[in-house]
Amino acid sequence: MEKNSSDILKMKKFCTPHFNMMEGILSHYGLPVELKYLAFIESELKVQAKSWAGAGGPWQLMPVTARQLGLVVTKSKDERYDYKKSTNAASKYLIDLYKEFGDWLLVIAAYNGGPGNVYKAISRSGGSRNFWKLQNHLPAESRTHVKKFIATHYIFEGSGGITTLTNAEAKKQIGVTATYLLNRKISAREKANAKTLVVSGKYRSEMIAKNIMMSQDEFLRYNPEFDKKMSSSDNVYELKLPADKMELFNANKYNILNDSVQSMLNSTTVMASRAESTK
């Protein structure tokens, strides 16, 4: 036990400066800083890491993908092995994947096994975009990759109620590491760095999240009572967001409100049509 604790401390000491750099870049792109753990499970942050398939660097980018993301990959120069440049490239790729799937666990699966395999899993599961429902349709390696990501976050940051599941559901699905990271309570540091704004109107959490490049789970982690409050007669709420996300909200708040109202009207129309068809 003591040896394991010592090994973890050494690992954290090695990773800290690299994680600090990655957090800055991920934040710049509006991405959750927790995605730094993806680089750890890809390469253990070893800058010269290279896979049998040809993926290289801390983010294990394939040559073709790296070039598409703007990196130089030649015999004499390979920017995949540059911590900062590869993190910038990986951030762009993660944004593209999130635009496709809208779910961070599916993004991690796609990063490992490719978007095609995730689309196949979605199709074979009947259209579900819930990782836990479609996971058995994914390649085993991609399935394991997602769970390694969750476990790595658990190892580095400890437990903290980061799951939307009940304890029974969590244990049934992935055991004691069932800690879906994007739903934990915000930390003291996150709270200190967040901005607040009082909002009113028929805003919907999914529309805000979509427009500020944030998963809905992450948005609700900062604003757990948002949907309940905004659907009440007293629909005024003190919105809390990371500073960069608040800037995006302020820049797009009228469009977001319009999208929210339109979404609500569409939902009402669908419900009315269903009610009519059952008469």
Catalytic center residues: 42
Separation of first and last alpha carbons in the chain: 66
Distances in Å between the Cα of 165 and the Cα atoms of 172, 184, 187 are 10, 11, 20
Q: If we measure between CA atoms, which residue out of 218, 210, 212, 149 comes closest to residue 177?
A: 149
Packing angle, helices 140-157 and 104-113, rounded to 10: 120
Give the CA angle between residues 37, 42, 46 to the nearest 5°: 95
The one-character DSSP state at 127 is S
SS (H, E, C) 45-89: CCCCCECCCCCECCCCECHHHHHHCCCCECCCCEHHHCHHHHHHH
Residue 95: alpha-carbon gap to chain centroid: 10
Contact between 206 and 242 under an 8 Å Cβ cutoff? The reply is no
Q: Which residues on neighbouring strands pair with residue 23, listed in sequence order? A: none
If residue 173 lies in a helix (H) or strand (E), which one and from where to where?
helix 167-174
Separation CA 233–CA 255 (nearest Å):
22
Opening angle at CA 122, ends 120 and 128, nearest 5: 170
CB atoms within 10 A of CB 6: 10
